[in-house]
Amino acid sequence: MNTFHLAGYPRVGAKRELKFAVEAFWKGQNTEEQLCQTAAGIRRQNWQTQIAAGVDLLAVGDFSFYDQVLDTLCTLGAIPARFGFDPARLSLTQYFELARGNADQVAMEMTKWFDTNYHYIVPEWHSDTQFSVHAERLIAQIKEAQALNQDIKPTLLGPISLLWLGKEKEDGLKRLDLLPRLVPQYQKLLRELANAGVDWIQIDEPVLAVDISPEWLAAFEPTYRELAITGTRIIISTYFASVVEHLNLLQKLPVHGVHIDCVRAPEQLNVFADGWPQNKILSVGLIDGRNVWRANLREVINTLQPVAEKLGNNLWLAPSCSLLHSPQDLAVEEKLPAEIKNWLAFAAQKLQELGWIKQALAHGCDSIQQILADSDAAATSRRHSKLIHNDAVAARVAQLRPNADQRHSPFAQRIEAQQAWMHLPLLPTTTIGSFPQTTEIRQARAAFKKGDLSAADYETAMKKEIAYCVEVQEKLDIDVLVHGEAERNDMVEYFGEQLEGYCFTQFGWVQSYGSRCVKPPIIFGDVSRPKAMTVNWSAYAQSLTKRPMKGMLTGPVTMMKWSFVRNDVPLSLVCKQIALALNDEVLDLEKAGIRVIQIDEPAIREALPLKRAQWDDYLAWACESFRLTSTDAADSTQIHTHMCYSEFNDILPAIVSMDADVITIETSRSDMELLDAFVKFKYPNDIGPGVYDIHSPRVPTEAEVSHLLRKALDVIDQRRLWVNPDCGLKTRAWPETIAALQVMTDVAKKLRQQLTD
């Protein structure tokens, strides 16, 4: 029989139980014991689901209160010394402080996990970073799983990826130089796990899927030679892209098995299967851990059968990557159209699919005859469904006029037309769009959705929020205002709900960072906009003020990247369709008197293919799609865009090619690191590097904000520089928001004064 295993299962709970328990703990409404009970309940439930699906090795070590990279750092004692915490006695409160900051220390940096929308905590490396093993937490979870009388397999992030994912916090330090210090601790950790009865362990080395240098690659053999002698059997796991270029290395590595992602890189399957060493496991991920589509079981089985003949029991079956990136259970969805629901599979269903595949490989396709017939029928229904194909959309994309993606005039001319009516001071201030989403706002939205609040009452409630938000910004003397996005649950879902071709789930939550989850919509068909989506709210907000009001849209790449996307047409086509739908909205906003429009593209960088060789192609259609959103916008209409976490030094030319009049970006957590790029390559249009971190409730000091702004002024022309926070403020509370923005505007005014004196 082929062993069926998985790297990890969603951990927030089918109804986000963990999120609510964690947040209650932060607010002091929940004890540590209660929180731990909730967590244990989720783990138990997850293991039961795995057992029911026929998993051979239960996943352990995939649970986390905040982030698995942070957990790995804690397990290896590698927490930043600046916090002054003793790694041997780290409390849960201290653990959360590492992630969220405290009164004395800013939070550890966070960034996207490869090309997903999951954020991990970035390790901080110093020349004197010390490692020590603290495996109690992990071992306790292993014991819980073992108590279910099942074989288990913990998942650990590997030493090379752990180092690679971190940042050197000292000049001259090369993080790879820490490896000799780190490997003995991994060795010790694996020994402790072996003592706890762990036979198999999965060690993730996702860096193998990106372009890493020969120096890093060379570290693999010696490292795994050391780890091979610890008494556990290691399966080394890769995902998100092809690792075919490392075939030789992976064949020779002294480990017991290798996992490859054959959803993202199906072409590597046969290359790996041919001549695979007889004494090694090859784990094949043919069920998509990152998307929601039901597998075409017959196709998957047909693909696997010849591999199974070659490899026998050395073929293992798994999802392509951890199911962390997939919603948990389709069965709880009650509102999806039946036709569409039949095309989908979430984490629980993906495990079932793997169970069936395993059965078919062992006992033949006849043993799952009905299951296969159902899967065939779903595939046929999806291929031909009227819900998917829209001729008008296809025609519009096909008939785009030449240069449809270019504004009428170049930036130099546009900015004059904009300044002529905007009358902005030097260093104009603005925000990124959202303001605190208070409990009242959420309650009103929920009540409206349930039908407990009438449309009229809902509108009144939202308008009250908008009015308050405008009033606050006027008091703060911010220059370009926003309406605050009170009506939006989520920047992608809000638009997805109003576009054709999208559907949405009730409980399809996926962890984004910490306790924050997103519920990505599903793009199942051709996209179009039946009617205006934001105009009423923005026009109302504009009616309350003389200052420019920014309209707020989510860009096509982000709309796509933060959704589950159909896999039956190229991504570039989906992206263009969304761009044209947004263009309709831009023109409607203009007509309604909104002359500053921000089109957020926080996802543009994370959507980069992991392999550089594919970047140019992606950037060409991604940037073209962005530009298409502003087709026919007047020169005097100021188009903003916003990006978070954009370490975009390496894609600056593409960002420039998007030709937004103003770009705002996340920079404060990395101390304006992105500005390095400006030394080499001047950004020609206006730019607002974020001057404080919005991911923590901490109010920045004037000195901090002014330090960041002065750094920016060193490399950016003062006439091009804007002042704004790093990102939207929806996750913050009002008091800290007002206090932080006050600091921001005060500093801007003082600097303005100094610059004009």
Residue from 345, 665, 691, 727 touching ligand GLN (CB under 6 A): that is: 727
Q: Does 744 bind ligand GLN (CB under 6 A)?
A: no
Q: Does 480 bind ligand GLN (CB under 6 A)?
A: no
Q: Does 730 bind ligand GLN (CB under 6 A)?
A: yes
Least separation in angstroms between residue 553's CB and ligand GLN is 9
The answer to whether 201 and 156 have CB atoms below 8 angstroms apart is yes
Residue from 192, 288, 493, 600 touching ligand GLN (CB under 6 A): that is: 600
Of 22 and 491, the one with the shorter C-beta distance to ligand GLN is 491
Least separation in angstroms between residue 582's CB and ligand GLN is 14
112 strand-pairing partners: 119
The whole-angstrom separation of Cα 6 and Cα 510 is 17
**363 included as an active-site residue:** no
Binding site for Zn ion (CB under 5 A): 602, 644, 727
Q: Does 588 bind ligand GLN (CB under 6 A)?
A: no
Where in 638-657 is the site for ligand GLN (CB under 6 A)? 642, 644
The whole-angstrom separation of Cα 472 and Cα 698 is 19
Least separation in angstroms between residue 111's CB and ligand GLN is 14
219 binds, among ligand GLN, Zn ion, none (CB under 5 to 8 A by kind): none
Give 702-709's long-range contacts (Cβ < 8 A, gap of 24+).
702/743, 702/746, 702/747, 705/743, 705/744, 705/747, 706/747, 706/750, 706/751, 708/667, 708/668, 708/671, 708/672, 709/427, 709/747, 709/748, 709/751
The answer to whether 578 and 559 have CB atoms below 8 angstroms apart is yes
Length of the chain measured in residues: 757
Least separation in angstroms between residue 711's CB and ligand GLN is 22
Q: Does 121 bind ligand GLN (CB under 6 A)?
A: no
Residue from 190, 728, 732, 740 touching ligand GLN (CB under 6 A): that is: 728
300 binds, among ligand GLN, Zn ion, none (CB under 5 to 8 A by kind): none
627 binds, among ligand GLN, Zn ion, none (CB under 5 to 8 A by kind): none
The whole-angstrom separation of Cα 34 and Cα 23 is 12
The piece of 23-31, 238-246, 304-312, 430-438 that touches ligand GLN (CB under 6 A) is 430-438
Least separation in angstroms between residue 719's CB and Zn ion is 24
The whole-angstrom separation of Cα 584 and Cα 203 is 48
Q: Does 434 bind ligand GLN (CB under 6 A)?
A: yes
Q: Does 667 bind ligand GLN (CB under 6 A)?
A: no
The piece of 178-186, 426-434, 442-450, 512-520 that touches ligand GLN (CB under 6 A) is 426-434
Q: What is the dihedral of CA 114, 116, 117, 121, to 10 degrees?
A: -30
Least separation in angstroms between residue 38's CB and ligand GLN is 28
Q: Does 491 bind ligand GLN (CB under 6 A)?
A: yes
Instruction: List, in order, residues 6 or more apart from 483 with CB less than 8 Å away.
Output: 466, 469, 470, 537, 538, 540, 541, 549, 552
Q: Does 732 bind ligand GLN (CB under 6 A)?
A: no
Of 75 and 429, the one with the shorter C-beta distance to ligand GLN is 429
Instruction: List, in order, residues 6 or more apart from 480 with CB less than 8 Å away.
Output: 422, 424, 428, 429, 430, 547, 548, 549, 550, 596
The whole-angstrom separation of Cα 669 and Cα 473 is 24
The answer to whether 727 and 752 have CB atoms below 8 angstroms apart is no
Alpha helices by DSSP H, listed for 595-651, are: 615-628
Least separation in angstroms between residue 552's CB and ligand GLN is 5
- Token pair, residue 270, equals 């046969």
Instruction: List, in order, residues 6 or more apart from 163 with CB less than 8 Å away.
Output: 123, 125, 175, 176, 178, 179, 182
Q: Does 490 bind ligand GLN (CB under 6 A)?
A: no
Of 590 and 666, the one with the shorter C-beta distance to ligand GLN is 666
- Applying CB under 6 A, what is the total number of residues that bind ligand GLN? 13
Where in 185-204 is the site for ligand GLN (CB under 6 A)? none
Per-residue contact string for residues 282-321; x = within reach of ligand GLN by CB under 6 A: ----------------------------------------
Q: Which of 262, 216, 253, 211 is nearest to 235 (CA)?
A: 253
Q: Does 633 bind ligand GLN (CB under 6 A)?
A: no
Residue type at position 387: L
The answer to whether 238 and 192 have CB atoms below 8 angstroms apart is no
Q: Does 663 bind ligand GLN (CB under 6 A)?
A: no
Q: Does 551 bind ligand GLN (CB under 6 A)?
A: no
Q: Of 5, 256, 259, 695, which one is the catalytic site residue?
A: 695
The whole-angstrom separation of Cα 494 and Cα 719 is 35
Q: Which of 54, 45, 48 is nearest to 18 (CA)?
A: 45
| Residue least distant from ligand GLN (Cβ) | 728
The answer to whether 251 and 221 have CB atoms below 8 angstroms apart is no
Of 62 and 600, the one with the shorter C-beta distance to ligand GLN is 600
The whole-angstrom separation of Cα 265 and Cα 260 is 8
Q: Does 627 bind ligand GLN (CB under 6 A)?
A: no
Q: Does 137 bind ligand GLN (CB under 6 A)?
A: no
Active site residues: 695
Contacts to ligand GLN by CB under 6 A: 432-434, 485, 491, 552, 600, 602, 642, 644, 727-728, 730
